[in-house]
Chains A and B, each alone.
Chain A
Amino acid sequence: MYTQLTLDLQLRESHTFENFVVGDNALLLQLLQQATDAKGEKQLFIWGEQFIGKSHLLQAVCQLANEKNFTVSYLPFKQVIDYTSEVLDGLEQIDLVCIDDLQLVANKPVWQEKIFDLINRMREANKCLLFAANLPPNELTLQLEDLRSRLNWGPVIKVNDLNDHEKQQALQLRARSRGFELPDQVASFMLNNYARDLSGLFEKLEALDKISLQQQRRLTVPFVKTALK
């Protein structure tokens, strides 16, 4: 027997502030939302564990800036770091630049120098520059101290983890954005039985989505139990 393959067509996930469970991050959200305002902080550094929502937040700032007709550039280093650091050239023309997964510049002196230069250029042009990484500047593996010092220039803010109740909300929001409903019992079962970091939970959610589509089953606790074994 063949398992029926699902069509690999993803629903558009919408990365907006409305779709983000705030939890203990109200200040951070406000600073991000004000980044493109005249009086906002022009440089911010946000950090936190994987899957805690950093990329989502950076993209939400991009959406917001785009609605205000600003030019924006979102640079996920996971995607671009294997290419040339030329991708950082000329960015000071852009109103808002967001760099994601900055920790990937560890042991890459050329990139470190280019980012250092980018910070200088963005400051001179009075444009917005936001960073996200899994660690704060002082904990990153950087060979260029000049860069570390400049990363600390603006507020450095941690993205706080959600509590269980908020995680449940986040799971359900994410399920909805992928086009299915996650019943309360199933969500709380997941939180009570598996590791409770969002990354693991989101992975499980994705797996559940696939399996339930393949097997044409509704999401119930017994189904989840066997599916995630």
Chain B
Amino acid sequence: MSAALWSKCLQMLEQELSDQQLNTWIRPLQVVEDTDELRLLAPNRFVLDWVNQNFLDQISRITQQLTGDNPVKLSLEIGTQARKKPATPVSSIIQNKDPASSINPNEVRELTFAPASRVVQHVDHNLNMGFTFENFVEGKSNQLARAASLQVSENPGGAYNPLFLYGGVGLGKTHIMHAVGNRMRELNPDARIVYLHSERFVGHMIKALQHNAIDEFKQFYRSLDALLIDDIQFFAGKERSQEEFFHTFNALLEGGRQIILTCDRYPKEIEGLEERLKSRFGWGLPVCIDPPELETRVAILHKKAEEFGAVLPNEVAFFIAKRIRSNIRELEGSLRRVMATANFTGKPITLEFAKDTLRDLIALQDKLITIDNIQKTVAEYFQIRSSDLLSNRRSRSITRPRQVAMALSKELTNHSLPEIGNAFGGRDHTTILHGCRKIAELRESDSKINEDYTNLLRILSN
């Protein structure tokens, strides 16, 4: 069978299904084609069930049409292409794993936790090499945490065990944790280190329970030199996971292995966590990371900009840092946006430019623009009364501002012209249209009017 059976099948499905059906249910499928078999792999049970119920007959009919006398076997299962032979014992997959291939978390998730002796060099550490001590910006808010972490990375299993890093979201806990792991590996490349999110630990455990492999699970985790678990607060309320983790924790600690945990709060304050765990978390060194102060935020922005290969003027860094106070991820997101815009427009990053780019983030002012608001602002600007705008007075000093207010209402709100007419003392919608046209003309010919109009536009949208 040609390798193109599925792509032909897709072409036909594209005629029969909507874009959304294709993008939601068909295109997530990975495909393995063999001479006599077409295996469709769904990412999860839900997609599998849905495809099974709604599209499988159709797919089957099309493949039959396409293959005629040489039918292929069609199957649908949960899985991923990376796992070529699903029946292979996982320990051998780990050992045979191509070191060049990227980490596949799903594969990691499918592990059956082979005994330690068989996988010595082959633990997927999951560490992100991009998080190091070198690119961590130190400030008052994180000084202690950084110092303690550096200490741990150079002397694992020592006095600070467990190292418990806590603080609000987006303050750099994960960064420090990876940095410790990376430094440890630098100093001892054979160290068996695993970083994972607490949810992944829970996931592993559930899978191990389902596959009757809890002993392997235990052996795997207890064979590590260092275990780094992120966001431990997600253990709350998960009793079996806590139980399992408690034993792992004790075993590692007794063996002099390092444990590092992060959490969004102090150990004692985690609700839904067993007392014995809380108290153990406090045994080592709980260190707090506070929100970075202004100078640190500015330094972080400079560092990030440097990583992206750009130079950020100081005043721009201060502008962003002053407005985004709460967390570093948001700081990074805003910076990325300013730089993407600069790349796109080819403009230099100036203060004005940054203000303009982040306008909608910094003040969600859209909601404030109402016809009422426009009328008040216009009346104030031209030093007349709001009620004049709604009246029938026809002197130039009133009609011009009235028309300006109409044009602004049309430009800045989504109200219909009849609605705008109503808001201006019950005028007809053609009057509004006329007013808007008049202002458009005048803005071309009369620089004063144009200036007034742009001023008002700025006032209203700032």
CA distance A211 to B183 in the complex (A): 70
Query: Are the CB atoms of B340 and A27 closer together than 8 Å?
Result: yes
Given A113-B199, A192-B429, A195-B419, residue A93 in contact with residue B264 (CB < 8 A): no
Residue-wise interface mask of A (72-100) relative to B, using a CB-CB cutoff of 8 A (1 in contact, 0 not):
11111001100110111111111000100
Query: Are the CB atoms of B170 and A155 closer together than 8 Å?
Result: no
CA distance A154 to B333 in the complex (A): 4
CA distance A31 to B199 in the complex (A): 31
Judge if A229 is at the interface, Cβ distance under 8 Å.
no
CA distance A153 to B231 in the complex (A): 17
Query: Are the CB atoms of A152 and B327 closer together than 8 Å?
Result: yes
Judge if A143 is at the interface, Cβ distance under 8 Å.
no
A residues within 8 A CB of B170? 149-150, 152
CA distance A193 to B23 in the complex (A): 37
Query: Are the CB atoms of A14 and B264 closer together than 8 Å?
Result: no
CA distance A130 to B282 in the complex (A): 39
Interface size on B, residues (CB 8 A): 59
CA distance A129 to B329 in the complex (A): 16
Q: Which residues of chain B (68-116) have a CB below 8 Å from chain A?
A: 78, 80-82, 102-106
Interface size on A, residues (CB 8 A): 64
Query: Are the CB atoms of A93 and B82 closer together than 8 Å?
Result: yes
Given A62-B27, A90-B80, A155-B336, residue A195 in contact with residue B43 (CB < 8 A): no
Residue-wise interface mask of B (252-267) relative to A, using a CB-CB cutoff of 8 A (1 in contact, 0 not):
0000000000001000
Judge if A181 is at the interface, Cβ distance under 8 Å.
no
Query: Are the CB atoms of A87 and B44 closer together than 8 Å?
Result: yes
CA distance A26 to B327 in the complex (A): 28
B residues within 8 A CB of A27? 340-341, 344-345
A residues within 8 A CB of B337? 155-157
B residues within 8 A CB of A166? none
CA distance A89 to B327 in the complex (A): 28
CA distance A15 to B19 in the complex (A): 7
A residues within 8 A CB of B264? 145-146
Judge if B28 is at the interface, Cβ distance under 8 Å.
yes
3 cross-chain pairs, A with B, having the tightest CB-CB distances, nearest first: A74-B23, A90-B43, A89-B44
Residue-wise interface mask of A (11-45) relative to B, using a CB-CB cutoff of 8 A (1 in contact, 0 not):
01111000000000011001100000000010000
Chain A nearest Cβ from B366, distance in angstroms: 9
**From A74, A87, A126, A194, contact of B46 by CB (8 A):** A87
B residues within 8 A CB of A196? 414-416
Chain B nearest Cβ from A206, distance in angstroms: 16
A residues within 8 A CB of B19? 12-15, 59, 62-63
**From A12, A71, A146, A156, contact of B169 by CB (8 A):** A146
B residues within 8 A CB of A75? 24
Chain A nearest Cβ from B241, distance in angstroms: 14
User: Closest chain B residue to A45 by CB distance?
Assistant: B333
Judge if A125 is at the interface, Cβ distance under 8 Å.
yes
Q: Which of B327, B419, B433 has the most CB of A within 10 A?
A: B327
Judge if B360 is at the interface, Cβ distance under 8 Å.
yes
Contact stretch, chosen from A1-9, A116-124, A168-176, A217-225: A116-124
CA distance A74 to B21 in the complex (A): 9
**From A74, A148, A192, contact of B417 by CB (8 A):** A192
Q: Which residues of chain A (134-160) have a CB below 8 Å from chain B?
A: 136, 138-139, 145-146, 148-150, 152-158
Judge if B418 is at the interface, Cβ distance under 8 Å.
yes
Judge if B330 is at the interface, Cβ distance under 8 Å.
yes
CA distance A92 to B46 in the complex (A): 15
Query: Are the CB atoms of A126 and B102 closer together than 8 Å?
Result: yes
Query: Are the CB atoms of B45 and A91 closer together than 8 Å?
Result: no
Query: Are the CB atoms of A125 and B330 closer together than 8 Å?
Result: no
Query: Are the CB atoms of A72 and B27 closer together than 8 Å?
Result: yes
User: Closest chain B residue to A122 by CB distance?
Assistant: B105
Q: Which of A75, A90, A121 has the most CB of B within 10 A?
A: A90
Query: Are the CB atoms of B197 and A195 closer together than 8 Å?
Result: no
Given A13-B18, A93-B43, A113-B199, residue A193 in contact with residue B30 (CB < 8 A): no
Q: Which of B30, B80, B416 has the most CB of A within 10 A?
A: B416
Chain B nearest Cβ from A39, distance in angstroms: 10
Query: Are the CB atoms of A124 and B329 closer together than 8 Å?
Result: no
**From B81, B105, B169, contact of A148 by CB (8 A):** B169
Judge if B386 is at the interface, Cβ distance under 8 Å.
no
A residues within 8 A CB of B388? none
CA distance A92 to B105 in the complex (A): 8
Chain B nearest Cβ from A44, distance in angstroms: 9
Query: Are the CB atoms of A152 and B24 closer together than 8 Å?
Result: no
Judge if B234 is at the interface, Cβ distance under 8 Å.
yes
Judge if B332 is at the interface, Cβ distance under 8 Å.
yes
**From B30, B168, B327, B364, contact of A139 by CB (8 A):** B364
A residues within 8 A CB of B461? none
CA distance A214 to B330 in the complex (A): 52
A residues within 8 A CB of B340? 27, 31, 41, 155
Judge if B32 is at the interface, Cβ distance under 8 Å.
no
Query: Are the CB atoms of B102 and A152 closer together than 8 Å?
Result: no
Judge if B12 is at the interface, Cβ distance under 8 Å.
no
B residues within 8 A CB of A92? 105-106
Query: Are the CB atoms of A192 and B46 closer together than 8 Å?
Result: no
Given A62-B27, A155-B333, residue A124 in contact with residue B126 (CB < 8 A): yes
Chain B nearest Cβ from A87, distance in angstroms: 4
B residues within 8 A CB of A79? 24
Q: Which residues of chain B (415-443) have a CB below 8 Å from chain A?
A: 415-419, 429, 433
